[in-house]
Structure 1
């Protein structure tokens, strides 16, 4: 029996990213917030290289479009849903925060849908690789959320309020019409180093403790 979809090594990192985020959601629901944040960072690391892996194989047009859709749908779970579940786990349980969660996830969804449309249009016009992004890429939360979580160690007011404000600010940045140059090799190395520094801080206990 044949399954629908395209199955090859080009989507492995996307699948691993999704697996990590689903496990992160489970961890957050069990109250293991730090573990959920680690999972978010793993998803971000996988997403950083999934495009490079995909380009190593010659794919037909349908496979390319499938890859774009699969990546975006995975990103919605990893960087849209998981951060809100982390928020709930750290105390955003008031009914008001449902509105915050909706705004954040809707902004991530809108940004991803817009990216898909623009990327498909761009690829139909030129074979060149994308050089810049419009709006804050949703994958950036893989570094921003851990940073907020670390800074929570040093704030005296209720941390879930800070986290909620952070989600709203990020949501706004997702939709803001500004351009960001796509990271090159040097920038990617810097981002990895920042991620490692965040992990070290968290392992050393420099993070929010509920």
Structure 2
């Protein structure tokens, strides 16, 4: 029996990121918010290395490369566009404005990733592959760092203030996803001192 898709080591981190994101939504529904937010962070950590792992396979076909780009973006929509909003909803961002902001985050993540995919496929054709040096707009994975930092404020401010902070985080992050600014792409191997 043959399955469509790619299931080798080049995409394992992406699938694990998806598992973490889904776990985050389930944990939020069970009101285990700290663990749910950690799942968003774990998805971001896995996403930082999935491309590095994928590029270690030297004989990937163009179809496998394109599948990887699409898979990564689809998982990113769930992990960084949907999961943070679901977590915020269960924390208490569930009024009309809150739900609108959760939708806005998901919509801006989808728009940013669709834009990225179109640009990335064209760039790879023109440049013959390689890694882009800059993002346009704040990468959606940035919420995996922003959300845990914002979540820490829960332990220092009243609950109402924390809910307001979450509203601001959702709106501001969504806006930055689609704001046309250049953001330097981090070299995670260099940052972690795994290469010079």
Show structure 2 runs of 5+ residues with no match. none
Q: Deviations over 1:146-179 (max 9, x none)?
A: 0000123222343112101111000010011110
In structure 2, what is the equivalent of residue 147 of structure 1?
149
- C-alpha distance in 1, partners of 2:188/2:103? 35
Matches within 5 A, 1:1-210: 1-57=1-57, 58-126=59-127, 127-156=129-158, 157-185=160-188, 188-189=191-192
The answer for unaligned runs of 5 or more in structure 1 is 191-210
Moved more, 153-162 or 70-79: 153-162
Partners in 1 of 2:166 and 2:191 — Cα distance? 26
**Whole-angstrom CA distance in 1 between matches of 2:119 and 2:32:** 38
TM-score by length of 2: 0.92
Can you list the C-alpha shifts for 1:105-133, whole angstroms capped at 9, x where unaligned? 10011001100000000000013321110
Q: CA deviation at 1:186?
A: 7.0
> How many residues are matched?
190
Other structure's SS at 1:129 match: coil
| TM-score, L = length of structure 1 | 0.86
Q: Which secondary structure does the structure 2 equivalent of 1:136 belong to?
A: coil
